[in-house]
Amino acid sequence: MSQQVQPTKQQFLTLALETDVSTTMQLFENAGNWQERYRQIMLLGKTLPKLQDELRNESAQVKGCESNAWLHHCEIEGKHYFVADSDARIVKGLIALLLIACNGKTSAEIALFDPNPYFKQLGLEGQLSPSRTNGLLALAKAIKSESE
């Protein structure tokens, strides 16, 4: 079987999310309405790089999303790094929200991360329901299981 293409170590390390969980919480608390929340989600999505076609491969694809979503993982010096993309803008933004909480963290830190209260505090708890086809639940599970 041919080896599926992986992002380089450099690509994993250069993912620079210029924000953290508390700043993001503040941002969403200040959002006055759903329009503003979703605008912020899409802006966060834009901070993730677009994956080249060869990295949009089958082995990286997260099942359970109506849109296509890809997640690559790499552990460097005890910390977990992710490179991810989606062809839907809101899903990509939701992935960014997950990565803000999990990227560059240790296994122990990621194990402690509970997406339910996180998205609830962001005012997005509805997006985590298993009936949704946005795949957020599947993505959260994938991030957690990759970093175990």
Partner 1 sequence: MDLTMLRSQFPALAQSNNGYPLCYLDTAATSQKPQQVIDAMNHYYHFDNANVHRAAHLLSARATTQYEAVRDKLCQFIQARRREEIIFTHGTTEAINIVANGLTSQLKLGDLILIDAAAHHANIVPWQELAKRTGAIIKPIPLTTDCRLDSAAFDTLLLEKPAIVALGHVSNVLGTVNPVSNLVAKAKQVGAITLVDGAQAIAHMSVDVQDIDCDFYVFSGHKMYGPTGIGVLYGRFALLDSLSPLMTGGEMIKTVSFSGTEFNQLPNRLEAGTPPIAEVIGLGAAIDFIDAQPKAQVSAAEQTLLIYLQDSLKALGDVVLYGAHSDNLGAVAFNLAAEHHQDVGILLDQQGIAVRCGHHCAMPLMQSLQLNGCCRASIGIYTNKADIDNFITAMQSVKELLL
Does residue 39 belong to the site contacting partner 1 (CB under 8 A)? yes
**Which residue's CB is nearer to partner 1, number 3 or number 131?**
131
Question: Among candidates 124, 114, 110, 118, which has minimal Cα distance to 41?
Answer: 124
Question: Where in the sequence numbering do the catalytic residues fall?
Answer: 65
**Which residue's CB is nearer to partner 1, number 94 or number 110?**
94
Computed on alpha carbons and rounded to an integer, the radius of gyration of the chain in Å comes to 15
Does residue 134 belong to the site contacting partner 1 (CB under 8 A)? yes
Left (φ > 0), alpha (ψ -120 to 50) or beta: where does 78 sit? left
Residue type, 30: N
Does residue 91 belong to the site contacting partner 1 (CB under 8 A)? yes
Binding mask 60-89 for partner 1 (x = CB under 8 A): ------xxx------------------xxx
Would you give the end-to-end CA distance of the chain in angstroms?
26
- Determine what percent of the chain falls in helix, strand and coil, rounding each to the nearest 5: 50, 10, 35
Does residue 34 belong to the site contacting partner 1 (CB under 8 A)? yes
Q: Which DSSP category does 67 fall into?
A: S
Cα–Cα distance, 7 to 103 (Å, whole number): 15
Query: Smallest distance from the beta carbon of 66 to partner 1, in angstroms?
Result: 5
Taking CB under 8 A as the binding criterion, the range among 36-44, 56-64, 74-82, 110-118 that sits at the site for partner 1 is 36-44
Does residue 129 belong to the site contacting partner 1 (CB under 8 A)? no
Does residue 131 belong to the site contacting partner 1 (CB under 8 A)? no
Does residue 136 belong to the site contacting partner 1 (CB under 8 A)? no
